[in-house]
Amino acid sequence: MNGFWLLPLAWLSIVGSLLLHYRRDLWAVWREPVLRYPVMIVESDDWGAGPVETQASALNRLVDVLSHYQDQNGRHPVMTLALVLAVPDGPAIRRDGQYHRRLLDDLLFEPVRQAIERGRAAGVFALQLHGLEHYWPAALLRAAETDERVRAWLASPSRTENLPSPLQSRWIDASTLPSRPLPEAEIQRATAEEVAVYERVLGQSPRVVVPPTFVWDERVEMAWAARGVEFVVTPGLRNTCRDADGQPSCAAGPIRNGERGKCVTYIVRNDYFEPEKGHTFVDGLAALRSRSEQGRPCLLETHRSNFIGLEAECSNAELHRLIAQALRKYPDLRFMSTLELGRAMRDHSPLLLEVRASRRLTAWVNRLTELPRFWKLGRLIGIAAVLCLIATKIKRDRRSQDQ
């Protein structure tokens, strides 16, 4: 053979080996739905049973902020509210030492329910299940036997955000670490109970669940699905335990958008908008830009603590700026609920999903940078540069066709 060909052949065989080695990841990224339009959803957790006046006024302010804007289709920006349906009844617990709860349908929480309903009716809030409680009650009682802080919290409950982090996980027993799994019968009983309470209090069935602290297992998932839940929000993996240091662990993943689990479909939420932690509208815009280039939705995680604490005014201002700038930079931006997004992805809706191979290819290349080992090796041997060149060429051709 002519020696001239040896070098290209050697290069091709290295590239081939790399692609072969990462074929499963590359195929999984290719199969993930590609959106035709930029989509932004603010996913917000921990609302519901809890402080009354602060939550009610924060929710009402959010309705005003979100109602101010519309996309091309006349849809307002949607903030999902992952709802907690009960908090401990401190006085009752103090009386007999047993666990008692106050449910969201208690008269006490009426201002919160009214604010939630106002936002739902205006089309700016979409309701999701977070949990009957933001903890596993039996684990809390067990922890209280040895931990003075937990005992004090139970007797006079403040926000669940103040509990030790491992105890905020609902679907494990983290009274001692490492955590222990819950018995199957308890999972069945608790999922049936939380779905029934959700339906009674909110007049609708939960279709989307955001597992508290993102710790749950397949048994919980199957129990939710049996009661009508269609989608589970995940940061891209599933933690099933807390380790000896209390950190979420025993992870399975990566989980990708639209992937099927045990009877449910996953939606990935892995961008953040937490002004109390220093995130500004600029960070939100950067996330939207990168997700749009990848053909992925931009789901921004946030929590009620941003909107009910000292940072509330700043958080609202940043949210205002984020939405205004997002609409200015992306005139084709779409607003929708996570449930609508999930159903469009699961049902392969041509209204939202891209079918043109060239556009899917561009999104695929842009996603590959998030396979760090593949991308590092790809840059080393030059295949990353080739893929980027192809993507840029497709983009240029598309622009000139559009003009």
C-beta of 46 vs 71, nearer to Zn ion: 46
Shortest separation between residue 328's beta carbon and Zn ion, angstroms: 32
Shortest separation between residue 134's beta carbon and Zn ion, angstroms: 6
C-beta of 48 vs 342, nearer to Zn ion: 48
C-beta of 26 vs 112, nearer to Zn ion: 112
What residue is closest to Zn ion based on CB?
45
**Beta carbons within 8 Å of 357's beta carbon, 6+ residues apart:** none
Burial class (CB in 10 A: 0-12, 13-18, 19+), 177: middle
C-beta of 76 vs 134, nearer to Zn ion: 134
Residue ranges in contact with Zn ion by CB under 5 A: 45-46, 212
Shortest separation between residue 167's beta carbon and Zn ion, angstroms: 12
| CB neighbours of residue 12 within 10 Å | 12
C-beta of 83 vs 323, nearer to Zn ion: 83
C-beta of 46 vs 173, nearer to Zn ion: 46
Shortest separation between residue 344's beta carbon and Zn ion, angstroms: 26
Shortest separation between residue 45's beta carbon and Zn ion, angstroms: 4
Burial letters for 247-279: b for 16+ Cβ neighbours within 10 Å, e otherwise? ebebeeebbbbbbebeebbbbbbbbbbbbbeeb
Nearest-10 crossing angle of helices 372-381, 6-21:
180
Shortest separation between residue 142's beta carbon and Zn ion, angstroms: 21
